[in-house]
Structures are given as C-alpha cells and as structure tokens.
Amino acid sequence: MNFSFLHFFHFNYTFQWGVAFAHLPELLQGAVVTLELGLLTFWGGALIGLLGASLKTFGGPFLRRVADVYVVFFTNTPALIQIYFLLYGLGDIGILWDPFTCTLIGLTLNAGAYLTEIMRAGFISVHRTEMEAAETLGMSVWQRIRFVIVPHIAKVIYPALANFFIVILVMGTSVGAIVGVDELTGQAINISTENYRWLEMFVVVAGIYVVLTLIASLSLALVGRWAFRVKAKVL
Amino acid sequence: MLERLAMEAPRFFAPHNLALLLEAMGMTLALTVVGCVLGFLLAFGIVFLRQTPGRLALPIRFMAIFYVEIFRRIPFLVVTYLVLFFIQAFVNNASLFAIAVIAICIYSTAYTADIIRGGFESVARQQTEAAAAMNFSRWQTLVSVIIPQSWPVILPPAVAFAVGFIKDTALVSQVGVFELTFRAKEMNNEGFSALLVFGTTALLYFAMSYPLSRWGRWLEQRLASSPSKRSQQRLRPAHRS
Amino acid sequence: MHHLQVKDLSSAYGPLTVLKSVNLTLGKGEVVALIGPSGSGKSTILRVLMGLTPPTAGEVWVDGTAIDYRSAASIRAARERMAIVFQQYNLFQNMDVMRNVTIAPVKIKRRPRAEVEAEAVRLLAKVGLADKHHAYPDELSGGQQQRVAIARALALKPEILLLDEVTSALDPELVNEVLDTIRGLAAEGMTMLIVSHEMGFVREVASRVVMMDKGQVVEEGTPKQIFDTPRTDRAREFVGKILRH
C-alpha cells in the first residue's frame, strides 16, 4: 500500500497548554474590553435603531427613504469594510481616530441598521386598538408611549434584542482585533506574536468566548423571565 | 480631497485594477458558495446523527449537539484562525483557499444544522409514525417524507444565511486569501485613497449582497405555498377536485 | 391457532400505566371491536402491536409466531403482517394519492412497480376514489383521505388490519363512506381489530366486542351480549351512557 500521501503531514507539534493558561489574566482583560465594546455598541445601536424605526414608522416619505437607504447600505456591506473606511478613509481628510473609536463607531452604525429593523417590528406589533384604548382612557401621548407602547414593544422584541446582543458580542467585537483593538481576540494575537503558541492561545480564547456567551445568554434569559415574563430559550 | 479623488480615479478604475477586483469578487462568491453548500450538506449529517435513537447512540447524539452549540458561540474570525493554525501545525503547504473553505464549512455547518433541525421538527410526528408503521427505515423516512415536507421551511433561512455570509468572507482576508477585502487593503497599501478604495469595495459587496437577498425573499414567498399548489405552479392549473 | 394473540400485555409511560395485563385473541377472518372511554388504552394496544409504543410486559403472537418488541427485526416482521389506519389518516402530504398508496410496496417491500400500480388502481376503485389518482391530500376531504389511507394499508397486503378510530376525525356526513368500505372488507373475510366510537357500526360488523377501561379489559362478548346484557357494572355504566343517544 502506498503511504506517500503521508508526506503531506508532519506530526511534530508539541502542545504547550501551560503557556496559554499562564496568560489568562491578559486574556480576561481582553474579555473586559470585548464586553465594553459590546455594551457600548449595543446601546448606541439601540438609540439609532429607535430613531430609525421611528423615522420608518412615523416619518414622511423623505425621512423614510433616508432610513431605508441607511439600513439597506449597512446591512449589505461588511462591518470590516465600514471600519477600514473610517480608520483609513477619515485619515485622508485629516481626521485621525484610534482603532477602538473607529471600531466602536463602525460597529454601532452597523448594529443600528439591524436594530432599526428589530425595533420597527416592535412598533408595528402595537395594534391600533391598544393605542385607541389608551387614548380613550385619557392618556397623553407621552403617557401612552410610556405605559402602553414601550412595555408592549419591549416584551415583543426582547428575545430578538437579547439574541442580537449575543451576536454583537461574539461576532461583532472580534472584528476589532483586525485593526488592533485589544479585545479578547486582539489580546490573543498580541500574546501569540510573542510566544508563538497560536494554536493553544486560540483554543483557550474560543473556550472563553463560549463561556462568555453562555453566561450572557443565561443572564439575559433570566432577566427576560423576571422583568418581561418572556419565555426565551435559556441556551 | 476631491481633486485627489479625481486624479486617482482613472488609475484606480483602469482595466487591470478592475479585473483584479472582479476576480476578487469571484473569489468571495466562490468561497461563500462552496463553503455554505458544503456546510449545508454536512449539517444534514449532523442533524441525522443527532436524531439517532437508542441508548447506545448517546455519545453520538451528544457530540452532534456539542459541536453545534460550541461553534455557534465562537466568532468566525477565531474559527478561521483556529483552522489556520491547526492545519498549519500538521500539514505542509496547505492551500489557503482550502483552509478558508474549511473554516467557512465548520462555521456554517453549526448554524445551518439548527435551521435544518427546526425544519425537520416542524413536520408532524404522525408523518414519521405512518412511515415507521410501514417499515420505512430512518433514512428512507427522511428522504421520502421529511425532507420534501421541510425544505420550504429550511431553504429560505439557509439561503439567507449564505447570502449574509458574503459579508463575513471579508474576515478571511486575514488568512491571505485573495478575496475582495484582501485586494482592497492591498490597493490601499499601494497608495490609493482609502475613501476611493473602501468606498468602491463597499459598493461591490452591496452589488453582490443586495440582489441575492432580494432573490432569497422571493424564494421564501414562492415556497410558502402548499404541495398541491406547488406541483401546479409550473404547469397550467389542472382540474381541481 | 389464533390469528392474533395478546397475553398479559402491559405498557407504561413513566409512572403512568396505560395498559394493564391485557389479554386478547383474534381468529382468522374475525372482526373484533375495542370500545371504552377515552384514555382506556384502546389505541395504545394498536400502537404497541405496530411497534410504535414499547410494551413493558406481555407476549404477542401473530399466527403462532412470537413477536419480540425489543428486536428491530421482529418489529419489522410484525409490520409486514399487520397494517394500521390512523385516526388522522396520516397521508404523506408531499405525495399524491397514487404515490401514497404505492410507495411502501415498491420501496420497502420491493415489489415490481407495474404490479403495485395495477393493484393500487384496483384498490382505489374499490374504496371509491378511482378518479383521484393524482390529487394531493390537501385537495381531498377527510373522508376521501381516510379511504386513501385504507387503500394504502391494503396495498401492503396485510394479514391483519388495525383501524384506530378511523371515523372519529371526520365530519358526520363523511363517516358512512368510510364505514361502507370497512363493511366491505369484513364481508371479504379480512381479520380486523377496530377501535371505534361508532356503536351502531360496531354492533353490525363486529363478531366480538371487547370493552376496556383504565388500561384493562372490563368485559368481552358478542355485540348482543355487551350491548343488551352487560354483566359487569362498569360495562353497564358505559353502555348506558353511550346508548342514551
């Protein structure tokens, strides 16, 4: 039997897990940055999403168009390109922002587009009859928004929001590593360039991401059950 | 600024450059299609394994569930790096394209598996029971009864995932594959203005992603009709009973 | 020798006992009806026989051959000899009538397609659906679907036919067409085990009636015996309630 195909392989890699675990503190620092980036992106995106959804639902034809173009553009182009555009493109005009800021703004604009659609689904779900009932009860517009619309919408879109937060956390923030942000993946790259234990580092990092997202999912599901009585999937 | 753009534009949009960008777009689409189609097929395998009955098959079921739950929670960039380093540790002269495709495959299998499982579970249990009562094997039931009834529910989200993945292939540029983002970065490094380069690149991604996502939505609506209507859609309507 | 013999059959779902030591026999060509309130385990017996629900104790023989429900091969053998028609018809939604009827004999039993199709045409004519070969289940009424389901079961050439409340899901106007089909089968000498709520029909077609309650056989006898002169209190109570309308 011809075993020459084995020349493709070389089995002389020795795993050194100790090295990877020795750098756990630095990795966890990176994880903190990941969470920071994730939270800032989410809330910033949520504000944009609220604005965009409002424009799409209540705005005139021009404003609706603007929101549409924004959403369509940012949901059909990669976040990485958006970040490159900010990081290198603005540099051409003389605006020099650091990688973290560019990543934050890029991801926020990106997230805002997706969140606009999520929020809009929430807006649409409020039936006209609920609004009319609130009106006949003598509530002012502000009261209507506060006591009828927002709780209803919050409950309807909470699962989608919670899920999207996980998406941002896991997928979104890792993009920052490419431009030099010291979040979890970025830290792994930093450390690996020094000790050359890329494989072990990234396996550990993968593990941390899994743990991070499991904790986040669990917490969000519990919050959902208590605060909104939403029966979201725990895992 | 605008003068600079005006000056660069002819050089940037020269045939040589455009050809390069076009080729890179082809690479992006090739990666997406090959990776996601392979992922789709493997995902069927994962779901089939996950549904193996019997106590002896518990480890198999566990592995299938474990795989999906793990790879859905790791960022694609990290998966790509893991595949890169793992393969380079053990294989000489591994093709970067192959590494990229394997990474896309591993990632898309995990996501598509959940779509497929949802589709299979949407088929009423009674259909499976009727098949079992007639001695259909699990595989025969899957092929003759479950898949035909669940693909209208499986295909649209699977297609949407693949179309969305066109954007994620940008991350594969980190591995050195000559797809669109890699070429764009290269051109920026060569000196072209970033606004020009990344602006154009964004539009190129848009040109790939948007039409396909519209097509995906059309597909979803088309598949939403019942089997009898679907069988009549290609022919003129037959006599209704 | 009995065509079907069930001895001390028990089945449990966790802590819930669904069947308790059920004994049942069917002779060749006999039509036995299982009656009783909901949850009495009537349908469960049919499901256990077809290997859809595992028994926890007891023995089953088909024509003298014992069936071991822990063995996949044995269950397959059982399914070769018995066929079931479900309450919800359970036709394959993605196939037209002809394919529903022919797929199992062709794909599973590996009989030649031409022979199976000819047989299917004959069976569909017999159940009164000769003009519906290429209709899909969602284009048919409940009664029509149920008759296709019967044709589908008959295409398997079973020795014993199990009918699980086959008219319970139908609109009243559609019940008779299905009952007519079953009457025909009984007249032809098909061994059948029927679970039904249609007492008039049971009285007419069954040679024996078995009454069940809470997973156990309460009483058994000819239709005349069960309906006119029930011996046990439980049977008397049940018969009294159902015969009031």
Complex ipTM value: 0.88
Q: What is the DSSP string of chain C?
A: --SEEEEEEEEEETTEEEEEEEEEEE-TT-EEEEE-STTSSHHHHHHHHTTSS--SEEEEEETTEEE-TT-HHHHHHHHHHEEEE-TT----TTS-HHHHHHHIIIIIS---HHHHHHHHHHHHHHTT-TT-TT--GGGS-HHHHHHHHHHHHHTT--SEEEEESTTTTS-HHHHHHHHHHHHHHHHTT-EEEEE-S-HHHHHHH-SEEEEEETTEEEEEE-HHHHHHS--SHHHHHHHHHHTT-
Residue B239 burial (CB count, 10 A): 6
Confidence grade of residue A231 (pLDDT, cut at 50, 70, 90)? low
CA distance B69 to chain A (A): 9
Confidence grade of residue B226 (pLDDT, cut at 50, 70, 90)? low
Instruction: Answer yes or no: is pLDDT of A225 > 50.
Output: yes
Is A215's Cβ below 8 Å from some Cβ in B? no
Using CA atoms, how far apart are residues B83 and B81, in angstroms rounded to an integer? Answer: 5
Residue A9 domain flag: no
Using CA atoms, how far apart are residues C172 and C168, in angstroms rounded to an integer? Answer: 9
Using CA atoms, how far apart are residues C229 and C219, in angstroms rounded to an integer? Answer: 11
CATH number of the domain to which A211 belongs = 1.10.3720.10
Instruction: Answer yes or no: is pLDDT of C195 > 90.
Output: yes
pLDDT in tens, A169-189: 877 899 999 999 999 999 999
Question: How far, in Å, are A132, A147, A151 from residue A140 at the CA level?
Answer: 12, 10, 16
Which amino acid, C8? Answer: D
Beta carbons of B130 and C90 less than 8 angstroms apart = yes
pLDDT in tens, B166-222: 999 999 999 999 999 999 999 999 888 888 899 999 999 999 999 999 999 999 888
Residue A102 domain flag: yes
Q: Which residue has the higher pLDDT, A23 or A216?
A: A216
* pLDDT for position B166: 96
B and A: touch, per 3+ CB pairs < 8 A? yes
pLDDT in tens, C145-163: 999 999 999 999 999 999 9
* pLDDT for position A129: 64
Q: Do B73 and A210 touch (CB under 8 A)?
A: yes
Instruction: Answer yes or no: is pLDDT of A29 > 80.
Output: yes
Partner residue facing C93 (CB), from B135, B140, B227: B227
Confidence grade of residue A6 (pLDDT, cut at 50, 70, 90)? low
Using CA atoms, how far apart are residues C172 and A8, in angstroms rounded to an integer? Answer: 73
Question: How far, in Å, are C22, C143, C163, C209, C224 from residue C199 at the CA level?
Answer: 22, 19, 15, 10, 12
Residue A49 domain flag: yes
Count: domains in chain A: 1
Q: Do B73 and A92 touch (CB under 8 A)?
A: no
Using CA atoms, how far apart are residues A140 and A151, in angstroms rounded to an integer? Answer: 16
**Structural domain boundaries, residue A218:** 26-227
Instruction: Answer yes or no: is pLDDT of C245 > 70.
Output: no
* pLDDT for position C106: 93
Point out the least confidently predicted range of A107-111, B223-227, C34-38. B223-227
- Surface of B (123-152) touching C: CB under 8 A: 126-127, 129-136, 140, 144-145, 148-149
CA distance A65 to chain B (A): 16
Residue of A72, A81, A178 for testing the chain B interface, max B β-carbons within 10 Å? A81
Q: Do B144 and C136 touch (CB under 8 A)?
A: no
Residue A79 domain flag: yes
Partner residue facing A85 (CB), from B73, B168, B202: B202
Residue A15 domain flag: no
* pLDDT for position C237: 84
pLDDT above 70 as % of chain A:
83
Residue A6 domain flag: no
With CA atoms as reference, the chain B residue closest to A73 would be B206
Residue of A17, A71, A76, A164 for testing the chain B interface, max B β-carbons within 10 Å? A76
Is B224's Cβ below 8 Å from some Cβ in C? no
Using CA atoms, how far apart are residues A11 and C94, in angstroms rounded to an integer? Answer: 51
Instruction: Answer yes or no: is pLDDT of B231 > 70.
Output: no
Mean pLDDT computed over every residue of chain C: 91
Residue A127 domain flag: yes
Q: What is the DSSP string of B82-133?
A: HHHHHHHHHBTT--HHHHHHHHHHHHHHHHHHHHHHHHHHTS-HHHHHHHHH
Domains of chain B by range and CATH?
A: 2-235 (1.10.3720.10)
CA distance C117 to chain B (A): 17
CA distance B77 to chain A (A): 7
pLDDT in tens, B88-139: 888 888 899 999 999 999 999 999 999 999 999 999 899 999 999 999 999 9
Q: Is C219 left (phi over 0), alpha (psi -120 to 50) or beta?
A: beta
* pLDDT for position A196: 82
Q: 3-class SS at A21? A: helix
* pLDDT for position C66: 93
With CA atoms as reference, the chain B residue closest to C133 would be B241
Is A92's Cβ below 8 Å from some Cβ in B? yes
Confidence grade of residue C117 (pLDDT, cut at 50, 70, 90)? very high
Neighbours of chain C (3+ CB pairs under 8 A): B
Q: Do B144 and C88 touch (CB under 8 A)?
A: no
Q: Do B136 and C156 touch (CB under 8 A)?
A: no
* pLDDT for position B240: 41
Contacts of C96 in chain B (CB under 8 A): 231
- Roughly how many angstroms between the first and final C-alpha of chain B, as a whole number? 71
Q: Are strands C160-164 and C82-85 parallel, antiparallel or unpaired?
A: parallel
Residue of B77, B86, B188 for testing the chain A interface, max A β-carbons within 10 Å? B77
CA distance B140 to chain A (A): 32
* pLDDT for position C1: 80
pLDDT, mean of residues B9-13: 80
Q: Taking the alpha carbons of A212, A218, A222, A228 in that order, is the dihedral positive or negative?
A: positive
Instruction: Answer yes or no: is pLDDT of B232 > 60.
Output: no
C and A: touch, per 3+ CB pairs < 8 A? no
Residue A8 domain flag: no
Using CA atoms, how far apart are residues C219 and C166, in angstroms rounded to an integer? Answer: 23
CA distance C92 to chain B (A): 6
